[in-house]
Amino acid sequence: MKTTTDSPFDALEKIFHEPNRLAIMSALCAADGGVPFTDLKTSCRLTDGNLSRHLKVLEETGVIRVEKSFVKLRPRTTIHLTKTGFQRFNEYLAALTEVLEQARQATGTERSKSRLPAFGKLAPA
Amino acid sequence: MKTTTDSPFDALEKIFHEPNRLAIMSALCAADGGVPFTDLKTSCRLTDGNLSRHLKVLEETGVIRVEKSFVKLRPRTTIHLTKTGFQRFNEYLAALTEVLEQARQATGTERSKSRLPAFGKLAPA
């Protein structure tokens, strides 16, 4: 067992690691443009309050932008991913990929029936 | 955008999702038998207090077993993964794989230079 100086576990950005925020970010990345609040709520199966709280955290760190407008006199809230947000989320996914790879090597699941057959035959860490 | 009835994000077992606990579980899975507390502390780069707290949570849910013994009159604490723990951690990793796959499809990174070329060419969700 060795000491790692730059553990991939440390690189998991906390802001994206929370499962609901991971779902929100994935939904935003999958969309072509901004996503209406109501669609995001349905897609991520969150309540108004929960979604609002997560969006506040994401907005404060600049990874999303919240746009408020009126459509036929009714207020509409649309969520946009920022360029920084997209970049940082991709960095998070790269770190998560590394962590998962390490864990799968540790459990030996890369040798058993796996949906990801190409984790390779790397020696356990 | 559609409502999913069994979102993979919901399947991420909270107990393993915390990055330090993910590191602890990976280290335990990588070992052949039990791991001494001090080795686990070094490997996961945690303080005594932090590691103890995480181990307490893991022990309370039955995924690890903590063994206290004496070696040459000195106390030694060894951490063992339980069979249930191994199974549940593997289920967590399967859920995490699915979440990561979905996120990577959303960001389009499965088409770019990837360390995991075999995520397949699944259609975006």
The confidence band for A110, taking pLDDT boundaries of 50, 70 and 90, is low
pLDDT of residue B123: 34
Q: Mean pLDDT lowest for which of A9-13, A115-119, B45-49, B52-56?
A: A115-119
pLDDT of residue B12: 83
Mean pLDDT, residues A35-50 taken together: 96
The candidate with the shortest Cα–Cα distance to B64, out of B40, B47, B38, B95, is B40
Residues in chain A with CB shorter than 8 Å from the CB of B94 are 115
Whether A111 is covered by a domain: the verdict is: no
Q: Does B86 touch chain A (CB under 8 A)?
A: yes
Report the run of H or E that residue A79 belongs to, with start and end.
strand A74-81
Q: How many domains does chain A have?
A: 1
pLDDT of residue B6: 63
Whether A117 is covered by a domain: the verdict is: no
The confidence band for A119, taking pLDDT boundaries of 50, 70 and 90, is very low
Q: Does position B1 have pLDDT exceeding 80, yes or no?
A: no
Residues in chain B with CB shorter than 8 Å from the CB of A42 are 1, 3
Q: Does position A84 have pLDDT exceeding 60, yes or no?
A: yes
Whether B114 is covered by a domain: the verdict is: no
Range of the domain at A74: 11-106
How many whole angstroms separate alpha carbon A106 and alpha carbon B26? 6
Q: Does A90 touch chain B (CB under 8 A)?
A: yes
Residues in chain B with CB shorter than 8 Å from the CB of A43 are 1-4
Whether A52 is covered by a domain: the verdict is: yes
pLDDT of residue A124: 35
- CATH number (domain holding residue A29): 1.10.10.10
CB distance B29–A90 less than 8 Å? no
Whether A38 is covered by a domain: the verdict is: yes
Chain A (46-85) residues lying within 8 Å, Cβ to Cβ, of chain B: none
Q: Does position A43 have pLDDT exceeding 80, yes or no?
A: yes
pLDDT above 90 coverage of chain A, percent: 70
The confidence band for B110, taking pLDDT boundaries of 50, 70 and 90, is low
Mean pLDDT, residues A49-58 taken together: 97
Report the run of H or E that residue A65 belongs to, with start and end.
strand A64-71
pLDDT above 70 coverage of chain B, percent: 82
